[in-house]
Amino acid sequence: MKIGIMIEGQEGLTWERWFRLADAAESLGYESLCRSDHLTGLGGESRRPSLETWTSLTALATRTKRIRFGPMVSPLTFSHPAILAKMAAAVDTLSGGRLDLGLGAGWNEHEHKMFGLPFPTVKERLDRLEAGARLIRSLEKGQPVTLKQPLFPLEKAESFPLPTNGRYRIVIGGRGEKRTLKIVAEFADEWNVTRVDIPGFTQKRQVLAEHWRARGTRHPSSRDRPSASSPTSRPGNRPGSSACCSRVSTRRTSPASSSSRARSCRSSEVMRVSLNPRSLPRYSSAAVPTRRSYP
């Protein structure tokens, strides 16, 4: 099991704090540094610094040498998936293949209304997530691709450069069992879920396994699940793996000393635990608890 750091980038993230976090994650041995993708503070503090997500990830690609990184997650209500795929491939190749491309349906109505972005129904947002993930997977093939789908169609589309390892490492966030986990089973290398206890996680993991079986893919064992440092899987048998965020208080804490807080996740086949720091005064602002309503 890998241990990384996940921060709420909209809650006071500045360049100084971002680079301090990056340096700390690298030097202390964490596996990854991820951030949320929002346009404004979610706790009512709209004047807090909130670095644009993909600009900050580009800087991280050149600032760091070892850690994996990415958005957790980028809503497909913010960007057309073809543009997102182009940005992701550029950042991934710049970093030498260390990007985790987090995708989500979008959930925060307030920020969409604030900036005049359409905020469709839950069904349409999930339709966009499914169609967008299919488009991104299609563009990694390195040959002209035509997609006949109502949302985000393609006509003999090609996109270069390709990701470093020949495919995107897609992480899909959400907790919905009927649609979201079905999309995870079809397109994702990793599933990201937050604010769930171990019994709840285990139950959803069983639902995800049912979606794998329905697709004719076997349940991934702890032996063949892809780790964050080895993001490939055999065609037609994508193992799919899981991530769980735990909110802990940490201050210049190493992965070894943090692991006791995450040990309970190991038996539930969690691949990566991302620590969401409440108090890292030298490295980031405090994360503001918010209500999440992933579809």
The two three-digit tokens of residue 131, written as one number: 């169609």
Which residues is 193 bridged to in the sheet?
A: 244
How far is residue 17's CA from residue 293's CA, in Å, rounded to a whole number?
28
Q: Quick check: is 154 in a domain?
A: no
Q: Does residue 283 fall inside a structural domain?
A: no
Q: Does 230 reside within a domain?
A: yes
Domain membership flag for residue 151? no
Flag whether 286 is in a domain.
no
Range of the domain at 189: 2-134+165-277
Amino acid 232: pLDDT:
28
In sequence order, the 6+-apart residues with CB closer than 8 A to the CB of 179 are 126, 130, 295
Q: What mean pLDDT value characterizes the chain?
A: 81
Residue 159 lies in a domain: no
Average pLDDT over residues 233-255: 40
- Domain assignment present for 7: yes
Report the candidate in 162, 158, 138 with the shortest Cα–Cα distance to residue 148: 138
Predicted model pTM:
0.82
Residue 5, phi then psi, degrees to nearest 5: -120, 135
Q: Which residues contact 182 (CB under 8 A, 6 or more apart)?
A: 211
Radius of gyration of the chain (CA): 18
**174-200: average pLDDT:** 91
Confirm whether 24 is domain-assigned: yes
Residue 82 contacts residue 135 (beta carbons within 8 Å): yes
Instruction: Tell me which of 72-81, 201-210, 255-264, 285-294 is least confident.
Output: 285-294
Lowest-pLDDT range of 86-95, 133-142, 215-224: 215-224
Instruction: With cut-offs at 50, 70 and 90, classify the pLDDT of residue 123.
Output: very high
Answer for the pair 161, 92: CB distance below 8 angstroms, yes or no.
Answer: no
CATH number at residue 196: 3.20.20.30
DSSP code per residue over 175-196: --TTTHHHHHHHH-SEEEE-S-
Please state, for a pLDDT cut of 70, what percent of the chain lies above it.
Answer: 75
- The per-residue pLDDT for 46 is 87
pLDDT over 90 (residue 242): no
Summarised one tens digit per residue, pLDDT across range 73-116 is 999 999 999 999 999 999 999 999 999 999 999 999 999 999 99
* DSSP letter (8 states) at residue 252: S
**CB contact set of 200 (below 8 Å; sequence gap of 6+):** none
Region 112-134: mean pLDDT is 97
pLDDT tens, 148-181?
A: 999 999 999 999 999 999 999 999 999 999 999 9
Number of domains in the chain: 1
Structure tokens at 166: 């020949």
pLDDT digits (tens, 9 = 90+) for 11-47: 989 999 999 999 999 999 999 999 999 999 887 788 8
